[in-house]
Structure 1
Amino acid sequence: MERRTFGQTDMQVSIQGFGGAEIGQADQRTVDRLLHSAVDAGLNVIDTAECYGNSEELIGKSLVGRREDYYLFTKCGHASGFDYSDWDPVMLKQSIDRSLKRLKVDYVDVIHLHSCSEEILRQGEVIEVLKRAKEQGKTRYIGYSGDHTDALYAIKTGVFDSFETSVNIADQEAIELTVPEAVKRGMGVIAKRPIANVAWKNDIVSEQAYAYPYWVRLKELKYDFLEDIQLGVKTALKFALSVPGVATAIVGTSNPNRWEQNATMLLDGGRLSQDEYNEIRSRWTEVAKTDWEAKFKDLLKVIRSGHIIFIM
């Protein structure tokens, strides 16, 4: 599998990474099969978070003895079981230590602040916790995971090595707002939600579903390639990987066969032709509405509250 330089770090990352959100309630046997087949086939990026159910524990148990085979990213910021408020500095430190214990490792390659607001970032305490974790060898690099103007502020602080953000055929704000700034500052860029949760495959989607905003947008965008589900997935994944500066795209699944299917789609390369890429960008510019981002931010509040429906 193709690998790309990850910003100014020493990491060469596989263009497809594994996102751990959807395995949070899976059984260990399924996760073992999924992760080992992925790593064996060349995937070397595993991304998870403190609030993804049992994801960290499942990954830790599954990959014991294979630490040198992959790069491990996690996130922090939400209390998720601690008797503290989100972003409390004491909680953050304990959360990082808990993540290492769950993952059964001495260090991770990147810890990302998980959708932290500009207001909290400006106070400086959460950034200091991550800096100390890096100094103590608990993480090799520190990063920010998020979107919109909060993400732009985080990038401009100049303290982060890594940037994880939403980039897909139904979510293109970052292509102009944040990714170019991150690239200019030498940050490694990760595309999350790169296949828009395959929202187009469903005739009806609940308004409480994680992919609902994407489903609504895609109904209006009407990309021709979405008429075939597999062609849609391939085109969407390649689109995210064609965004200048994107090093890897994180795909989440609890289906042990999905990784191999997605990997096969990239055997002919991880980019669209320039004409194909430009056509998708032009369609977005023509159709996208100014309130789409605000609506998605409202859904994220629901996601963090735990009232979430995955449709994949």
Structure 2
Amino acid sequence: MEKRKFGKTDMMVSVLGFGGAEIGSLQPGDPEAAKQVDRLLGSAIDAGLNVIDTAECYGNSEELIGQAVSGRRQDYYLFTKCGHAAGLPYEDWDPKLLAESIDRSLKRLKTDYVDLIHLHSCSEEVLKRGEVIEVLKRAKEAGKTRYIGYSGENEAALYAIRTGEFDSLQTSVNLADQRGIDLILPEAREREMGIVAKRPIANVAWASGAEPPKNEYATEYWKRLRKLDYGFLQEHPQDAVATALRFTLAMNGVCTAIVGTNNPDRWGQNASLLEKGPLAPGIIREIRERWANTAEDGWVGQV
């Protein structure tokens, strides 16, 4: 599995990372669920994946990850997020909440530290108050995280980048979500930030055909893709996904693409998609030109 330098940090990250949202609905006390996650993460790490990304509000995700692979802590980089109450008795973005949420995440993940904590898509207004950034900086000083970052989109992400406080940016980059490629990524690269692409295959929204998918994010992408009308999405499903994934990884500055699944066989399938090699420049140019000629004003980054 190809690895890329993660900005100016000391991390060399696998181009595919594991996104922990989808396993969050599984129950930690269910032996079968525990086996499923153990197999999923264990096989992925064995095959070269070294990025696991989760969040405070992804249901039972942190706890399941801690149960499955805390004993292999030196084999992967562990990213989480904070900002949403997710069961704690505070309002979102309360500085006390963030501090307690970070401690809770460490306990759930069965580790003394994480490699990276992202602010979980807070608004530009919250960022400007500065308190949430200070909480992350204190966590870094205390050794609870090695690096800090911002996860989000659009002008809020641009503001976060320009503060100069963050080591990492996590943002949506895919066939149906390209505004940030021009608005956000250039400044993140200039500041040598590690860039994590989320939703790199646009939730495979095109696969639902003539009927919109039930997922909120996928529905918005489905609407956009109907208008973008990329011909290659009519190819064999695996070929279409391969093109979508390789497009995201071809964007300048992207270090790793986070793909979520609760299917233990999916990691190997996703990894095999990259065996085709880099996407041809002509295809990349076609995708970018189609976006430039078709995108509507409301097609902003999906938070």
Task: Calculate the TM-score normalised by the size of structure 1.
Answer: 0.92
Moved over 2 A (4+): 205-210
| Deviation of the 1:36 alpha carbon | 0.6
- Equivalent residue pairs, number: 295
In the alignment, does 2:223 pair up with 1:252?
no
In the alignment, does 2:138 pair up with 1:132?
yes
| Deviation of the 1:222 alpha carbon | 0.9
Write the distance in 2 (CA, Å) between the matches of 1:210 and 1:268. Answer: 28
Q: Show the 5 A alignment for 1:85-164.
A: 85-164=91-170
Write the distance in 1 (CA, Å) between the matches of 2:275 and 2:114. Answer: 29
Write the distance in 2 (CA, Å) between the matches of 1:47 and 1:134. Answer: 18
Write the distance in 1 (CA, Å) between the matches of 2:215 and 2:37. Answer: 26
Per the alignment, residue 269 of structure 2 pairs with 261
In the alignment, does 2:248 pair up with 1:240?
yes
Per the alignment, residue 6 of structure 1 pairs with 6
SS at match of 2:57: coil
Letter in 2 for 1:253: T
SS at match of 1:137: coil
Per the alignment, residue 282 of structure 1 pairs with 289
Q: 1:179 aligns with which of 185, 204, 224?
A: 185
| Deviation of the 1:273 alpha carbon | 2.0
Write the distance in 2 (CA, Å) between the matches of 1:45 and 1:53. Answer: 19
| Mean CA deviation greater in 271-280 or 233-242 | 271-280
SS at match of 1:142: strand
Per the alignment, residue 272 of structure 1 pairs with 279
The change in CA–CA distance for 1:181 and 1:127 in structure 2 (over 3 A counts) is same
| Deviation of the 1:208 alpha carbon | 5.6
| Deviation of the 1:292 alpha carbon | 2.0
Structure 1: where are the runs of 5+ without partners?
301-312
Q: Show the 5 A alignment for 1:49-68.
A: 49-68=55-74
In the alignment, does 2:190 pair up with 1:222?
no
User: What is the Cα-based RMSD across aligned positions, in Å?
Assistant: 1.1
| Deviation of the 1:206 alpha carbon | 4.8
Letter in 2 for 1:15: V
Structure 2: where are the runs of 5+ without partners?
27-32
SS at match of 1:241: helix
CA contact (8 A) 2:17 2:258 kept: yes
| Deviation of the 1:210 alpha carbon | 3.1
| Deviation of the 1:207 alpha carbon | 6.1
Per the alignment, residue 218 of structure 2 pairs with 211
CA contact (8 A) 2:213 2:222 kept: no
